[in-house]
Amino acid sequence: MTAQFIAESADGAFVRQPNRFTDRITRDSTRWPVEPGRYRLIWSRACPWAHRAVIVRGLLGLQNAISVGTLDPVRDERGWRFAEPDPVLGITYLAEAYRATDPGYTGRVTVPALVDTRSGRVVTNDFPQITLDLSTEWVDFHRPDAPDLYPVDLRPDLDALMRDIYTDVNNGVYRAGFATSQAAYEAAYDALFARLDALEERLSDDRRYLMGDRLTEADVRLFTTLVRFDAVYHGHFKCNRNKLTELPYLWRYARRMFQTPGFGETVDFDQIKRHYYYTHDRINPTRIIPKGPDARAWWH
């Protein structure tokens, strides 16, 4: 197995590895049925892909149905690890669950991962599908006033919007940060800021959420990148045309999301910075972690 972003580049462009485990937990599944208490969501506070799963779990009120195991933000050559052995799974490294599921796996260990507590096997690390299934398959265990994050009537528009956000923003910052050629970096950089400009324009009509007055999955997916932007992506990944704080509508939107229950309390800027600046030593060989920016701005 590999721990870092190795062998994912072609011609200098970063290409994200496919998700290895793509089974689904569904109401009609005989192998992985929806069952409260059976599955454990493994995440790191540092990781934007895992962050979105924890936000959705909380918004839907699934805390008692799906337990959470939290990994240390610093990842070494052995991959993601728990500060102490996980009390439910009994493992120290997430790679142990990967090996239990596929002994021949040689790729990078990623989060989020939903692990079956009975077998210790990874059911899925398919981060985009995990959150959609939390919304659509776990409905019997949602809190009574849970938001409909993936409403049927908006799905065509939502799917298109989330696809653009993933390509140019969520994954776009990584395409810029891990590019190994100038051309690949500039292509990712240009696409990122073109998309941020389009989102800035979309939010300029004073709408509260991306789809108007309805909180959706798209807001969660955009938020986990925006909340890391100035702290990490602007400097560490060289996405430096503008800071988030210099894009007035996106900055106002991001602060509103941060101050919405279920969002800000899941953010840990210290762990975010420690992960990126310490783990990515090919980008930051000194492993010096910046003191700023001042997180108090998110509350203003």
Total structural domains within the chain: 2
Predicted local confidence at residue 243, as pLDDT: 98
Domain boundary among 109, 141, 173: 141
168 in the same domain as 113: no
Across the chain, mean pLDDT equals 96
Domain membership of residue 276 as a residue range: 152-299
162 in the same domain as 123: no
163 in the same domain as 103: no
Average pLDDT over residues 75-101: 96
Residue 3, in any domain of the structure: no
228 in the same domain as 133: no
Q: CATH code at 41?
A: 3.40.30.10
Q: CA-to-CA distance for 89 and 109, rounded, in angstroms?
A: 16
Residue 10: pLDDT over 90: no
Residue 128: pLDDT over 70: yes
Residue 9: pLDDT over 80: no
287 in the same domain as 163: yes
Residue 194, in any domain of the structure: yes
135 in the same domain as 161: no
Confidence of residue 11 (pLDDT cuts 50, 70, 90): confident
Residue 91, in any domain of the structure: yes
SS (H, E, C) the chain: CECCCCCCEECCEECCCCCCCECCCECCCCCCECCCCCEEEEEECCCHHHHHHHHHHHHHCCCCCCEEEEECCCCECCECECCCCCCCCCCCEHHHHHHHHCCCCCCECCCCEEEECCCCCEEECCHHHHHHHHHHCCHHHCCCCCCCCCCHHHHHHHHHHHHHHHHHHHCHHHHHHCCCCHHHHHHHHHHHHHHHHHHHHHHHHCCCECCECCCCHHHHHHHHHHHHHHHHHCCCCCCCCCCHHHCHHHHHHHHHHHCCCCCHHHCCHHHHHHHHHHHCCCCCCCCCCCCCCCHHHHHC
Domain boundary among 120, 141, 162: 141
Predicted local confidence at residue 259, as pLDDT: 98
Average pLDDT over residues 155-183: 97
Whole-number percent of the chain with pLDDT over 90: 93
228 in the same domain as 115: no
Residue 34, in any domain of the structure: yes
Predicted local confidence at residue 5, as pLDDT: 61
Predicted local confidence at residue 120, as pLDDT: 98
85 in the same domain as 44: yes
Q: CA-to-CA distance for 232 and 54, rounded, in angstroms?
A: 20
95 in the same domain as 46: yes
Predicted local confidence at residue 6, as pLDDT: 56
Residue 241: pLDDT over 60: yes
62 in the same domain as 106: yes
The answer to whether the beta carbons of residues 112 and 130 sit under 8 Å apart is: yes
Predicted local confidence at residue 3, as pLDDT: 54
Q: CATH code at 180?
A: 1.20.1050.10
- The pLDDT tens digits of the residues spanning 20-70 come to 999 999 999 999 999 999 999 999 999 999 999 999 999 999 999 999 999
Of residues 170 and 19, more confidently modeled: 170
Residue 277, in any domain of the structure: yes
Residue 282: pLDDT over 70: yes
Confidence of residue 257 (pLDDT cuts 50, 70, 90): very high
Residue 147, in any domain of the structure: no
Residue 236, in any domain of the structure: yes
Residue 4, in any domain of the structure: no
Confidence of residue 247 (pLDDT cuts 50, 70, 90): very high
Confidence of residue 221 (pLDDT cuts 50, 70, 90): very high
- Could you tell me how many residues make up the chain? 300
Average pLDDT over residues 140-162: 98
Confidence of residue 7 (pLDDT cuts 50, 70, 90): low
Which residues are marked as active site? 47, 174
Domain boundary among 90, 109, 141: 141
What number of other Cβ atoms are within 10 A of residue 70's Cβ? 18
101 in the same domain as 58: yes
Average pLDDT over residues 85-90: 98
Confidence of residue 76 (pLDDT cuts 50, 70, 90): confident
231 in the same domain as 276: yes
